[in-house]
Amino acid sequence: MLDRLYDYVSDNEFRFTVYENKFNAINFKRILSLEDNYISILSNTKKITITGNNFILNKLVEDELLITGNISKIEVVNE
């Protein structure tokens, strides 16, 4: 049980989740671009580009961000 807890707490795998009008990314490397209609972030192996409009950065901590707005397209490119 302690191993499972440790794996959860020390998780460093990049992942993102898309909800209705929300984009959440965890364990990303850096933000490349942040505009009200275009966001680009980089992980260790992927570049993610989100396009739409009215983007608002709702949460930004060391390795997590939450964006709200009208998402029209998400593009994932392996780097």
Please indicate, yes or no, if residue 20 is contained in any of the structural domains. Answer: yes
Count of domains forming the chain: 1
Check residue 46 and give its pLDDT: 93
Please indicate, yes or no, if residue 66 is contained in any of the structural domains. Answer: yes
**Model confidence over 1-39: pLDDT tens digits?**
666 655 555 678 899 999 999 999 999 999 999 999 999
Please indicate, yes or no, if residue 53 is contained in any of the structural domains. Answer: yes
Percent of the chain with pLDDT over 70: 87
Q: Which of 44, 46, 51 is nearest to 77 (CA)?
A: 46
Q: Which domain holds residue 72?
A: 14-78
Average pLDDT across the chain, whole number = 89
Please indicate, yes or no, if residue 52 is contained in any of the structural domains. Answer: yes
CATH number, domain with residue 46: 2.60.40.2000
Please indicate, yes or no, if residue 41 is contained in any of the structural domains. Answer: yes
Check residue 63 and give its pLDDT: 86
Predicted structure pTM score: 0.81
- Is the predicted pLDDT of residue 79 greater than 90, yes or no? no
Please indicate, yes or no, if residue 8 is contained in any of the structural domains. Answer: no
DSSP state of 4: H
**Alpha carbons 58 and 66: distance in angstroms, whole number:** 5
